[in-house]
Homo-oligomer: A and B are copies of this chain.
Amino acid sequence: MSCAAESLRFRRSLQRERDRMSDADNPALGQAWFPSRWGAEDEIGAGNLLGPHTVLEAARLIRSGETVSLGFPYRVGMPLSPGRTFGLKMPGGPTGGPEGAVSRTVWNDDFVCTEIGQIGTHMDALGHLGHQVTYPCGHCDTLVYNGNKLSEIWSPYGLKKLGIEKAPIFFTRGVLLDVQALFGEPLANGVEITPEHLLQCIDRQGLDHNDWLRPGDVVLIRTGHGSRFFSEAANWYDGEPGLGLAAAEFLSALQPVVVGADNFAIDVVPPVDPDMVLPCHQHLIMRHGIYLHEGMNLDALAETGRSEFVYAFAPLRIEGATGSPGMPFAIL
């Protein structure tokens, strides 16, 4: 696809998306994107694509038996989006004991206070993000995946629907598209990744154009923003290279279960169109029930040279949470 063709395609896509978004203001028309293809009651989204067959296919990719962490550790000083908090305190030194005249057993706890589901390497729950609609009377509500109204599923102590505890266990085929390697360096903030870039990665990495991503697979995008995670922690949330809406559409058509990246929001920030903030978030999570894995550390994986691997991740099942931290890993 030429650059001009791609650009045209993108402008059209953007217009279509703006049209659809406007439609969503009208609940009658908003049904373009809900109920979901898995029914009006579904809370799992693309997780429905998983099953024993995807596990078995993934297991066949295991060759060397090496495991590679795809996440960053969590510590005070890590990047935090404005308003969020991370604290770890050790209640005691030690916390408990000694117990038992002979064993004199002693133990320690740690205590955290943090937006646990939305810091560092984390996966968003399907209830994390939505689109605010304005009713004719001027009042507003927010629609999330499957047309759920946030006002109906939200509570002060957790989401009543679409919390991260509903997410499945992920053990499925993963594919890395190394855009950083394509560019030869980490992409700068604001650089939009297009379908063309992704196609070039597919070529460059020797993947099969017609079969590089299958339903239920995971696709991970290395932008290079992860290389600045600890070294530029204070500015890490100021902007990022990331997917434009066209790239998200390109990916969603292939039905992955997870789209992950080494940036904080998958999307490019600042956005291409200032009226469309985090459009890939809306497109992928809200419309297609695809899970986003953000803040990944893809450097070690990239160094292995492997484009295909098992992606394994089991979310921390805090009921009603909007996301999950944890250490996703690849098996090679």
CB neighbours of A115 from chain B (8 A): 91, 109-112
CB A282 to nearest CB in B, in angstroms, measures 6
Q: In the bound complex, what is the Cα–Cα distance between A175 and B97 (angstroms)?
A: 32
* Given known contacts A53-B65, A150-B106, A85 and B83 CB-to-CB distance under 8 angstroms: no
With A65-B55, A65-B59, A87-B87 in contact, is A73–B317 under 8 Å at CB?
yes
Residues of B within 8 A of A325 (CB): 316
User: Is A104 among interface residues, defined by CB-CB distance under 8 A?
Assistant: yes
Among A122-130, A201-209, A252-260, the stretch in contact with B: A122-130
A261-302 with Cβ < 8 A to chain B: 271, 273-279, 281-282
Chain B residue with Cβ nearest A50:
B67
User: Number of A residues whose C-beta is below 8 Å from B?
Assistant: 114
Known: A127-B108, A322-B108. A64 touches B52 (CB 8 A): yes
Instruction: Decide: A89 near B91, CB < 8 A? Known: A116-B112, A156-B96.
Output: yes
The answer to whether A110 touches B100 (Cβ under 8 A) is no
What's the Cα separation between A282 and B100 when bound, in Å? 12
- Of the candidates B83, B130, B316, the one whose C-beta lies within 8 Å of that of A157 is B83
